[in-house]
Homo-oligomer: A and B are copies of this chain.
Amino acid sequence: MEQLGRFPVRLALPVQWGEMDAFHHVNNAYYLRWFETARIAYFAKVGVGIELDDSPRLRPILARATIDYRAPVTFPDTVTVEATVKSFGTTSFVMGYRLSSEAQRRVVAEGEAVVVLLDANGEKTKVPDGLRETIVALEAVGA
């Protein structure tokens, strides 16, 4: 049976000083930016259209995002953000994220996103079999 949730995509991102807020921690909103960069990298690996100018056949839309903040992040540090697909729905899938701090040597946040697929008319569309197989194959490599 297919095994998901293995975080096959991983990026290292240096924290920028200006991402800290008045509490001297990276502001909570930037976690979504980091997750997004990992999500886009994942999409690129499985060929989900993020073409901007023409009309992609499939457009992934972020319907829901959740972040669990485990520990604050401060500058200077480098964070590693990992992305995975955890499960499939009919017209959507759930991505998982994991954020680790190099300085703290531990997971500092986890996240989840519900991604809905729209067709060229902006209507919800089934996750194509080909995309599903590509994701399953990528997740297997991530094992």
Contact = CB atoms under 8 A, between A and B. Distances in A.
Contacts of A69: 61-65
Interface residues of A, number: 38
Interface stretch (A21-29, A82-90, A97-105, A128-136): A21-29
A33 B20 contact: no
Contacts of A52: 22-24
A32 interface: yes
Given A22-B21, A22-B24, A22-B52, A33 B62 contact: no
Contacts of A23: 52
Given A13-B16, A29-B33, A30-B29, A64 B65 contact: no
